[in-house]
Each structure stands twice: as C-alpha cells, then as structure tokens.
Structure 1
C-alpha cells in the first residue's frame, strides 16, 4: 500500500548545504525531489506555488460552466505577478473583478454580463477596458495552460478617441495659481504640475520620483531608476528643463530630509487626483466632459508645446519616452498657432 501524498516540503539540497532549494514530496509511494534552481527562499516559494498549481491540473479539462471566475483570476495572479514590473496595477484592476464575478463561472462571461460589469463600476471607458483586459488575459492564460476545455471571450467597450486636450499658456498659469490655494496640497501640487508641463512624464512616474534619481548638478533625471524593470512605458533619462530646475532646487532646500520629490508631511503621495481636480475647478477650467483637464493633460501639453517650438520629432519621442507612432497618432494634427506656452507660462 502506497504512502499518502503529504504536503511538499521546501528545503535546501539535502546533499549540498550550499546548493539550490529543492521541493521534496511523496508520489506513488516513493520519495521524490524537484530542484527550484535558485538559492533564494523567496524565489523558491514562487516556483513551489507554480509547481503546486501545475500538479493539481485536472486530467480531464472541465467545461467553462464548471470553473469559477475568481479561481481563474487567482490563478492568473499567482502566475503573472512575479513577472511584471508593476504588479500593483494588476492587483488594483483585479479587486473589483473579484467582487463582481464572485460565485459566477466562466460560462457566465457574455457580452451582456460584461456590459453589466461596466454599468456596475461606473468608471471611465479606458478604466473598463483595462480591467476587462486583465480578465481577458486571465481567461486566456487559464485556457492556454490547459485548465479548461475551451477558451472564453471577454467583451470590452469600444475604445474612445484619444484625449487631445492640452493647455494654452494662460490656462497653465491659472492652474498653477489655483494649485497654490488648494488646502494641504499648496506645497507639492504646483511642483507636480510644473514637472508634468515641463518634463511631460506620466503621473505615476512623477509621484514615484526620488531625489536619488535626480542629478541637480548636471541637470539630469532618470525616470527609470535602478531596480525597476523596463516596460513599454519607455521611461527615459532626460535633461532637466532650465525652467524646472529652479523649482526642484527650491523644493530640495525646503525639504532636505525627504526621499521622494513629492511628499506630504514627509510621506510619498499615493495619488494626486483629488487635489488636482480641486485646482482645476478653482482655475475655472473644464472639470467634466471630453475636454476636462486631468493629470495626463500635462503630458499632452508638454508634447504640444514642444511641437509648436519646432522640436525634432525624434527628440520629442526620446524626451517623453514614447514611440513615433504614438506621437503621430496623438499629436500629428497639432499645428503651431502661437509661441511656446512654456515660455509664456514659466
């Protein structure tokens, strides 16, 4: 009679104390072992988790109507999170998916239920596309790994026209002045706006910026610091615009102990959305509709101002960390109709 299959154990190679971690387990009445090919306990735990999932793969693949959506999403996170540069984005998108699809099966994912999810969330179209895109990726991974008998289609809302809203010089001035009046944000919000307008980087890149990533003496910023995986977001290393340099030096003098550039009471900011919206309203700019001003508008504005100055498109792509295709799709229709907004606003 074979021994019962116990819980697999993770240990350093029993034959070599300086070797890799091994998974020791019992199967078919025999003791077996599997190398994780790593000496890191953390990495070995991830290998063990993936191996356990594969070990429990069903011999007969179930029908989508027998598989819970929540199981598929959890499987996807175990497989995917260790391999992506920004796992928080997937976690953030997965939370509402887990809530809505709780106790529902893959067979219940239809065009109608996807539309129902969109109405339940009451978020922007791009947010819905991103979240349902995570669900689609999870379903695809589950099917590709042989965990279900057939693939499941996820229906996303149609893509909207890209936002082309950008600020004229007088609008930028109003926004900066309004930001100085926003309670509890008057110190950091104007600098966020200045960095966005003059450096053209995305919100998350600005909020995560640390002083160690900035060389004030030589005027350089590394938007993709050591330790962060390179992604399609193409964060570059760029010179600091002259008008921005003075704002950064002033901030450094005022908060010399802070690790991050943008902080509140010494702590890094999770988001800027609420205080930014208040500044937009105080400035009398559009806060609703297709022309509303959002943090990403700063990036559009920077790109537009650069094009209006006649800066070479290759230089713009390098400075903003975007592809030539993206630049053409979003800004190819812009024509210079007044002098550089950056010069007038700053």
Structure 2
C-alpha cells in the first residue's frame, strides 16, 4: 500500500460514523507495528509500557506457546501520541481497540467500508502488515528489527 492510499484509507475510516471510534486507531496501529488483526484486536492496555516504550504482544489469556516466543517490542515513537489519546478516552475498557467499551470481534466489514469510501479495491487488514515491512525497508530499517516488530 502506498502512503497516499494509507492516508485515503485513514481519512475514510474517520468519516465512517459507526466505526470511527475504533477503526482509525486499528489502521494506525497496523501501519506502525505490522501486527496481525487478531493481535491488534486483543491488545490490552496492560501490555503497553509508555515509560519504557515497550509492547508485550503475548496474549495474557492464553498459556505460553513454547514454539512461538514473542519478545517485547519497541513502541514506535510515532504511535505514542495516538495511543496516549486513546488511553485518555478509554473509559472502563481494558482493550485498546473497542467501541464504547465493547470488544471488537472483527473489523472486516468496517475495514471494507473504509476501503470502498477511499476508492481502494482488494485491500484487507492483512496488507497493513506488509506495508509496515515495506515502509521500514524503504526507510533503511534492519530486516531483523522489522521481523522482531511483527513476530
């Protein structure tokens, strides 16, 4: 996804009345972290350390999987202000992505609606992961650092 396409998608998400409370933040998190949809939707505030600028992507509700170790990741600097604003208006929700305190099960339809509004076809949440990797490589990031981000 090109930068202008990502910007159009974000603008469209902000204009969707039913999902503007959560979809723009979902998109920003996806573009800055390269995480999978399920990881983003299950992300809790307790997994973020603003002081240390660290993210723990391990699901606190699941037992550790010895085959897949997810290390703490660095919290991207450009993501911090978005997360701080969301944290200030979180209400009683433990989840980063929520709709008025209610857990979001999926963003499939709202994401599709934003894509239609933005004039994008064939785009799903998963390519946000690829976009993060591509933009990182274009900026000269180390491929191992990018891999750690999206483990």
Q: TM-score range by the shorter chain?
A: over 0.9
- The yes-or-no answer on 1:306 pairing with 2:142 is no
Q: Does the 8 A contact of 1:188 with 1:262 survive in 2? A: yes
Higher relative contact order (CA 8 A, sep 6+): 2
What's the C-alpha RMSD, in Å, of the aligned pairs? 1.5
SS in 1 for 2:55: strand
Q: Does the 8 A contact of 1:224 with 1:230 survive in 2? A: no
Residue aligning to 1:209: 43
Query: What stretches of structure 1 move > 3 A for 4+ residues in a row?
Result: 231-236
Structure 1 unmatched ranges of 5 or more: 1-166, 287-291, 322-346
| TM norm structure 2 | 0.93
Written as runs of structure 1 = structure 2, the 5 A alignment for 1:56-71 is none
Matched residues in 2 for 1:272 and 1:241: separation? Answer: 23
Matched residues in 2 for 1:245 and 1:269: separation? Answer: 21
Residue aligning to 1:100: none
User: 1:210: how far off?
Assistant: 0.5
Matched residues in 1 for 2:69 and 2:113: separation? Answer: 30
User: 1:232: how far off?
Assistant: 5.5
Q: Does the 8 A contact of 1:280 with 1:293 survive in 2? A: yes
Q: Does the 8 A contact of 1:236 with 1:320 survive in 2? A: no
Candidates 22, 25, 31, aligned match of 1:191: 25
Matched residues in 1 for 2:68 and 2:21: separation? Answer: 28
Aligned residues: 150
Residue aligning to 1:283: 118
| TM norm structure 1 | 0.42
